[in-house]
C-alpha cells in the first residue's frame, strides 16, 4: 500500500518567519509517521485547492499566529483578539468541506482545532487571560515541554490512542494558545480538558470517521514523546485505509424508485 498523502495548508499567509519555524515540524511528523505531506499554498485558487485535496487521503490543519474571525461565530471582537488571516481561513474551509463530504481523516492542531470547531458551528474563548483570568498560563510558548496536564475522557478515540484516560493518569502537554473552544460544534464531543482549569483541550467527531482536534502541539514533541507519535500514527493509519464514502445522487435515487414502481 502506498504512503497516504496528507493535505496541509501553509500556516500563515503573511508571516514567513512563523511558517519557517513551524511548518517543518508538521512535515517531519507526517513523514516520520509514514505519510507524504502535500503543502497547500494559501494563494492557491479554489480549483487548485480542490485538485490538491482530491489527491490526498487525509487533512491536517496546523496552528497559526492568527485568530479565527469572531464574526464567524457571532461574537463581537474583543481587543485581545489577534488579527485574522482570511486567506488561511478560506483554504481551511475548502479542506474541511472536502474532509466532511468524503469522511476523510482529519487531524486539527491549535488554530486548526479552533478553525474546525467554528466551521462546525461552535464558539471560542477569544482570550483566556481576559475572559478566564483564574486559568493557568496556556501560552508559555514552544520552549516549555510540559506546560500543564490534560485529563482525557474515558471511552474516547483519544483515550484509545494515547491512554491516560483517568484523572489519576493525566497527560502532560505543551501549550501555546491564548484562545480555546467555548462551545463545541455540531457532531463534536469533548475528548480532553485541562486538568488545572477545565479548559477544553481536545475534541473528536461522533461518527466512525477519524476526526480529532487537539489544542496542544504534538508535532513539536514528536521525536521525544510516545503520545505525540501515537497521535500521528493513528491519523496516518486511518488515512492509509481511507476510502471515499459512497455518494448517491438524488436524481439517481428518484429514477431507481420510479423504475421499481413500474
What does the pLDDT read at residue 139?
A: 86
Q: Indicate if 148 belongs to the active site.
A: no
Task: Give the pLDDT of residue 144.
Answer: 82
208 as an active site residue: the answer is no
How far is 107 from 56, CA to CA, in rounded Å?
Answer: 13
List the CATH number of the domain containing 148. Answer: 3.40.50.880
Place of cell 496516518: 236
For 103, phi then psi, to 5°, come to 50, 40
From the candidates 89, 201, 204, 219, which is the catalytic residue?
219
Nearest to 177 by CA among 136, 152, 140: 140
Annotated catalytic residue: which of 81, 110, 177, 178? 110
Decide if 81 is catalytic: no
Q: 99 is written with which cell numbers?
A: 474532509
β-sheet bridge partners, residue 172:
149
The total of structural domains in the chain comes to: 1
pLDDT, tens digit only, all 262 positions of the chain: 689 999 999 999 999 999 999 999 999 999 999 999 999 999 999 999 999 999 999 999 999 999 999 999 999 999 999 999 999 999 999 999 999 999 999 999 999 999 999 999 999 999 999 999 989 889 888 878 888 999 999 999 999 999 888 888 899 999 999 999 999 999 999 999 999 999 999 999 999 999 999 999 999 999 999 999 999 999 999 999 999 776 554 444 444 444 444 4
What is residue 254's predicted lDDT score, i.e. its pLDDT? 40
User: Whole-model pTM above 0.75?
Assistant: yes
Question: What are residue 161's phi and psi, to 5 degrees?
Answer: -80, -50
- pLDDT score at 88: 98
Q: Which domain holds residue 242?
A: 5-261
User: Residue 181 has what DSSP assignment?
Assistant: E
Q: 226-240 and 16-32 are packed helices; what angle lies between their axes, rounded to 10 degrees?
A: 70
CA distances from 165 to 153, 158, 162, 174 (A): 6, 9, 8, 18
Phi, psi of 8 (to 5 degrees): -140, 115
Strands 58-61, 5-9: pairing kind: parallel
Q: Which of the 8 DSSP states describes residue 209? A: S
Amino acid at each position: 500500500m502506498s504512503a497516504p498523502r496528507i493535505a496541509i495548508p501553509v500556516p500563515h499567509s503573511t508571516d514567513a518567519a512563523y511558517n519557517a519555524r513551524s511548518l517543518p515540524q508538521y512535515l517531519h511528523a507526517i513523514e516520520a509517521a509514514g505519510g507524504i505531506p502535500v503543502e497547500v499554498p494559501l494563494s492557491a485558487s479554489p480549483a487548485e485547492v480542490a485538485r490538491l485535496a482530491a489527491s490526498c487521503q487525509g487533512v491536517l490543519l496546523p496552528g497559526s499566529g492568527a485568530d479565527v474571525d469572531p464574526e464567524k461565530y457571532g461574537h463581537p471582537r474583543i481587543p485581545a483578539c489577534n488579527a485574522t488571516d482570511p486567506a488561511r481561513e478560506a483554504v481551511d474551509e475548502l479542506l474541511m468541506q472536502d474532509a466532511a463530504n468524503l469522511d476523510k481523516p482529519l487531524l486539527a492542531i491549535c488554530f486548526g482545532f479552533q478553525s474546525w470547531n467554528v466551521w462546525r458551528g461552535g464558539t471560542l474563548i477569544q482570550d483566556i487571560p481576559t475572559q478566564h483570568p483564574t486559568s493557568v498560563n496556556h501560552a508559555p510558548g514552544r520552549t516549555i515541554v510540559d506546560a500543564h496536564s490534560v485529563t482525557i475522557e474515558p471511552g474516547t478515540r483519544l483515550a484509545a490512542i494515547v491512554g491516560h484516560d483517568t484523572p489519576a493518569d493525566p497527560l502532560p502537554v505543551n501549550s501555546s494558545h491564548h484562545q480555546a473552544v467555548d462551545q463545541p460544534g455540531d457532531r463534536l464531543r469533548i475528548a480532553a480538558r485541562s486538568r488545572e482549569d477545565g479548559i477544553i483541550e481536545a475534541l473528536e467527531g461522533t461518527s466512525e470517521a477519524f476526526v480529532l482536534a487537539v489544542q496542544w502541539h504534538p508535532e513539536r514533541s514528536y521525536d521525544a514523546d510516545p503520545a505525540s507519535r501515537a497521535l500521528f500514527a493513528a491519523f496516518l493509519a486511518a488515512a492509509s485505509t481511507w476510502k471515499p464514502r459512497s455518494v448517491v445522487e438524488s436524481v439517481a435515487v428518484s429514477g431507481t424508485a420510479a423504475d421499481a414502481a413500474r
